[in-house]
Structure 1
Amino acid sequence: MTDTPRKTALDALHRALGATMTDFAGWDMPLRYGSERDEHNAVRTTAGLFDLSHMGEITVTGPGAAALLDHALVGSISAVAVGRARYTMICREDGGILDDLIVYRLAEDTYMVVANASNAQVVLDALTERSAGFDAEVRDDRDAYALLAVQGPESPAILSSLTDADLDGLKYYAGLPGTVAGVPALIARTGYTGEDGFELFVDPADAEKLWQALTGAGRDRGLVPCGLSCRDTLRLEAGMPLYGHELSTELTPFDAGLGRVVKFDKAADFVGRKALEAAAERAATSPPRKLVGLVAKGRRVPRAGFSVVDAEGTVIGRVTSGAPSPTLGVPIAMAYVDPAHAEPGTAGVAVDIRGTHEPYEVVALPFYKRAR
Structure 2
Amino acid sequence: MAPKRTPLYHQHLAAKAKVIDFHGWEMPVQYQSIVQEHHAVRTNVGLFDVSHMGEFLVEGQEAEALVQFIVTNDVARLREGGALYTLMTDENGGTVDDLLVYKLAADRFLLVVNAGNIDSDFEWVKEHANDFDVSVSDISEKVALLAVQGPNAERVLQPLTDDPLGELKPFSFYVGEVLEKKAIISRTGYTGEDGFELYVQADDAPLLFESLLKSGAVPCGLGARDTLRLEAKLALYGNELSRGVTPYEAGLGMFVKLDKGPFVGRDALYKQKEQGVANKLVGIQMDDRSIPRSGYDVIVEGNVVGRVTSGTMSPTLSVAIGLARIDVQFAQVGQTIEIDIRGRRHPAHVVPTPFYKRNQA
Alignment of 1:275-290 (within 5 A): 275-283=268-276, 287-290=277-280
Q: CA deviation at 1:339?
A: 2.0
- CA distance in 1 between counterparts of 2:96 and 2:296 reads 24
Specify the alignment match of 1:294 in structure 2: 284
Determine if the alignment matches structure 1 residue 369 to structure 2 residue 352. no
Question: For 1:315, which of 304, 319, 323 is the aligned residue?
Answer: 304
Question: For 1:352, which of 316, 340, 351 is the aligned residue?
Answer: 340
- CA distance in 2 between counterparts of 1:96 and 1:364 reads 25
**Where do 5+ consecutive residues of structure 1 fail to align?**
none
Q: CA deviation at 1:337?
A: 1.5
- CA distance in 2 between counterparts of 1:181 and 1:318 reads 47
Question: For 2:139, which of 138, 141, 145 is the aligned residue?
Answer: 141
Q: Secondary structure of the residue that 2:165 maps to in structure 1?
A: coil
- CA distance in 1 between counterparts of 2:132 and 2:10 reads 42
Q: Secondary structure of the residue that 1:161 maps to in structure 2?
A: helix
- CA distance in 1 between counterparts of 2:27 and 2:234 reads 21
- CA distance in 2 between counterparts of 1:16 and 1:339 reads 48
Q: CA deviation at 1:345?
A: 1.4
Q: CA deviation at 1:198?
A: 0.5
Question: 8 Å contact 1:89–1:100 — kept in the other structure?
Answer: yes
Question: For 2:223, which of 222, 229, 233 is the aligned residue?
Answer: 229
Aligned residues: 360
Q: Secondary structure of the residue that 2:340 maps to in structure 1?
A: strand
Q: CA deviation at 1:282?
A: 2.1
Specify the alignment match of 1:243 in structure 2: 237
Which stretch shifts more, 91-100 or 336-345?
336-345
TM-score if structure 2 supplies the norm length? 0.98
Q: CA deviation at 1:271?
A: 1.2
Specify the alignment match of 1:129 in structure 2: 127
Question: For 2:78, which of 66, 76, 80 is the aligned residue?
Answer: 80
Q: CA deviation at 1:78?
A: 2.5
TM-score if structure 1 supplies the norm length? 0.95
Alignment of 1:1-372 (within 5 A): 3-218=1-216, 223-267=217-261, 269-283=262-276, 287-310=277-300, 312-346=301-335, 348-371=336-359
CA-atom RMSD, angstroms? 1.1
1:194-250: CA deviation from partner (whole Å, max 9, x where unpaired): 0000010000100011011111112xxxx3100001100000000011001100100
Letter in 1 for 2:120: V
Question: 8 Å contact 1:309–1:350 — kept in the other structure?
Answer: yes
**Where do 5+ consecutive residues of structure 2 fail to align?**
none
- CA distance in 1 between counterparts of 2:254 and 2:291 reads 31
Letter in 1 for 2:293: R
Give structure 1 regions of 4+ aligned residues with deviation exceeding 2 angstroms: none
Letter in 2 for 1:250: G
Question: 8 Å contact 1:94–1:272 — kept in the other structure?
Answer: yes
Question: 8 Å contact 1:252–1:279 — kept in the other structure?
Answer: no
Amino-acid identity (%)? 47
Q: CA deviation at 1:70?
A: 1.1
Which stretch shifts more, 176-185 or 320-329?
176-185
Q: Secondary structure of the residue that 1:66 maps to in structure 2?
A: helix
Q: Secondary structure of the residue that 1:44 maps to in structure 2?
A: helix
